[in-house]
Structure 1
Amino acid sequence: MKKASLFLFAFLLFRIGYSQTNPMMKLFPEGTKLHGNIPYMQDTLKKHLLDIYLPPNAKGNVPLVIWVHGGGWLSNDKYADMGYMKETIAEIINQGYALASIDYRFSTQATFPAQMLDCNASISYLYDNASKYGFDTDRFALMGFSAGGHLASMLGLTNNQKVNEFFVPGTSKDFQFKAVVDFYGPADLTLFPGAIDAKSPEGLLIGAAPLDRPDLAKMASPVSFVDEKDPPFLIIHGEKDDLVSPRQSHLLNAWLKVKGVPTDMIVVPGAPHFGSMFDAPEIRERVFAFLKEHLK
């Protein structure tokens, strides 16, 4: 009993310490409602938090865009990528979508599939609590950047297969995705120049050099899970990306086409791995036309 009381006290302190502290709120339209630092695993791990942003004056249940941050699977947090995508996140709210940004454990804390366990657990929480926040569970979309693009693709592509290793036991598997927006995410871990190096970001992710453990690399590569039941994809990649080759996105796009999955790819002329070039009006127009078509 005493131990339970101490745990409850620690948990409350955790909630107070982290509640509603959000450096990105200034980027969102006035009236956006924040539910910040929600512990989706009901524990005190900082990497098991998510933020929910709701459009002001929402009527009825709204579609949800799930934001998955980048950082090589070993850095950044749920606020990452928002700073250079200011107009996009504002437009998500202005278009009447909710946005949920999730954290997940770094590869330096736990190797793959820990990141998939965390992401799926966070989405299970959003699905199970949809009525509380006003989400339409039939209109979930994923949007990820770099390593987050990889995870968003993995989530979207494995969803219909319900891979047990990617789910925390006892969490919901009932959710589905209507669309995936993948910004320059890796598609095949063996294609990286660092695939021979266990200390490369992709090596740290799986705990071995991908070319030494192609079995682990295959399990962590989106192209391994493409089938005809996958949701539609919009893939966006910079022409001059020197961290994740555009060939990664070309490969994923080609596999989706082979399987008959609706897919479109945008190569941004002159663009590097990330930055405000991906927030340009012509890119936003394509992104929101895609979301409108599949979340209608």
Structure 2
Amino acid sequence: MTAEQVLKGIEFACPEASAPLLLDVYLPSAEHTGKGFPAIVHFHGGGWRAGERSSLGPVLDGFGFSPFRRLTDAGFVVVSADYRLSTTAQFPAQLEDAKAAVHWLRDHAQDYSVDPDRIYAWGDSAGGHLASLVGLAPGDAPAGADGDTPGEVAAVAAWYAPADLPRMGEQCLPNAVARADDPGSREELLIGAVLAEAPGKAAAASPVIYVSPAAPPFLLVHGTADRFVPAAQSTSLAAALEAAGADVELLLIEDSDHMWILPDHSQAAAEKAMDATVDFFLRQSHVP
């Protein structure tokens, strides 16, 4: 396989009182030619307070396989974008940045031979939360969304993503490492308030409340042993999407913790999740 071309550090937005936001563009390897490539915008995890656009986390990085390379080899353009962290700005700043990255790609689609009708979103953990919101929350901001307007992208894949912030604490496993209702939780830092004391803010940051029949196709992948984001978050979102008549696929990987950690420390869960994600996007894009 021929190595793909990577264009790094492209500025796509500069929010007020913030450093410029950057993205990287991964172009399909040389055997893929022509115009109108499907494209995937990826958002990284890290609890909204850490992480890097080039990474899917230390565990997956340690496995040594490249998820972006898997997608470019399959004929996709991949864009991996920054967003403001909760140490800098509270929600909905992160969603505004995620949508700005999608808008940038749409505006520059011709420059990278991208088909603007086949732009998708993907994210892991906090990034999966943002990808889900990009697909579901209409307009320029989540507040006041009527749920009847399509989102920004044609399909979404989300790995172990928060989907219903008010219910995260009650859904946690008994051996949870982190709980949304803990003082100083990642979710509390995201919305700037204790979840129980700010139900409106917690709901506004929850993809599940924006589900409507206009939702794009979704792939939700989660480990049943996730001690950070309970798998019930994905099952709840899947149930809401199905009830709305939307196209949703739910893959639960037995015994897998967050970041696809298995008891035997193999990368089998990560490979299964990646295979499912590539297959999902190929089917959405109708690429042979």
Q: TM-score interval w.r.t. the shorter chain?
A: 0.7 to 0.9
Aligned residue in 1 for 2:173: none
**SS of 2:228 mapped into structure 1:** coil
Aligned-partner Cα distance in 1 for 2:84–2:232 = 27
Choose which of 24, 30, 46 in structure 2 pairs with 1:51: 24
Is structure 2 residue 186 aligned with structure 1 residue 186? Answer: no
Give the length in aligned residue pairs.
Answer: 259
| Deviation per residue, 1:21-70 (Å, 9 max, x gap) | xxxxxxxx643111111110157955611000001333212110111100
Structure 1 residue aligned with 2:75: 96
Aligned pair partner of 1:274 in 259, 268, 276: 259
| Pairing partner for 2:42 from 63, 67, 83 | 67
**Corresponding residue for residue 136 of structure 1:** 115
Map 1:132-171; keep pairs closer than 5 Å: 132-158=111-137, 161-164=138-141
Closer/same/farther in 2, CA of residues 143 and 62 from structure 1, 3 Å limit: same
The partner residue of 1:250 within 230, 235, 238 is: 235
Alignment of 1:287 with 2:259, yes or no, is no
CA contact (8 A) 1:198 1:204 kept: no
Structure 1 unaligned blocks of 5 or more: 1-28, 167-172
Deviation digits for residues 228-248 of structure 1 (CA, Å, limit 9, x no counterpart): 000001100011100000011
Structure 2 residue 201 is the aligned partner of structure 1 residue 228: no
Secondary structure, aligned partner of 2:225: coil
Task: Find runs of 4+ consecutive structure 1 residues off by over 4 angstroms.
Answer: 42-47
Call closer, same or farther: CA 1:100–1:144 in 2, change over 3 Å.
Answer: same
What is the distance in 2 between the residues matched to 1:145 and 1:284? 11
The code of the aligned residue for 1:286 comes to A
SS of the residue corresponding to residue 195 of structure 2 reads: coil
Secondary structure of the residue that 1:294 maps to in structure 2? Answer: helix
Secondary structure at the residue paired with 1:274? Answer: helix
Deviation at 1:198, TM superposition (A): 5.1
Structure with the greater alpha carbon radius of gyration: 1
Separation in structure 2 between the aligned mates of residue 35 and residue 244 of structure 1, nearest angstrom = 32
Aligned to 1:177: 153
Decide which of 64, 75, 78 is 2:53's aligned counterpart: 78
Alignment check: 8 A CA contact 2:54 2:80 kept: yes
Q: d(CA) in 2 for partners of 1:72 and 1:47?
A: 21
Distance 2:49 2:123 in 1: 15
* Matched letter for residue 294 of structure 1: Q
> TM-score, normalized by length of structure 2?
0.83
RMSD across aligned positions (CA): 2.3
Offset at residue 97 of structure 1 (A): 0.5
2:94 is matched with which residue? 115
* 1:20 aligned residue: none
Deviations 1:63-96 (A, max 9, x none): 1011110000000110121625825322201111
CA distance, structure 2, for counterparts of residue 294 and residue 119 of structure 1: 21
Indicate the larger mover: 202-211 or 79-88. 79-88
| Amino acid across the alignment from 2:27 | L
Give me the whole-angstrom Cα distance separating, in 1, the residues matched to 2:114 and 2:64: 23
| Bigger helix share | 1
51-60 or 35-44, larger mean C-alpha shift: 35-44
Amino acid at match of 2:223: G
Task: Give the TM-score normalised by the residue count of structure 1.
Answer: 0.81
Q: Identity rate of aligned residues, in percent?
A: 32
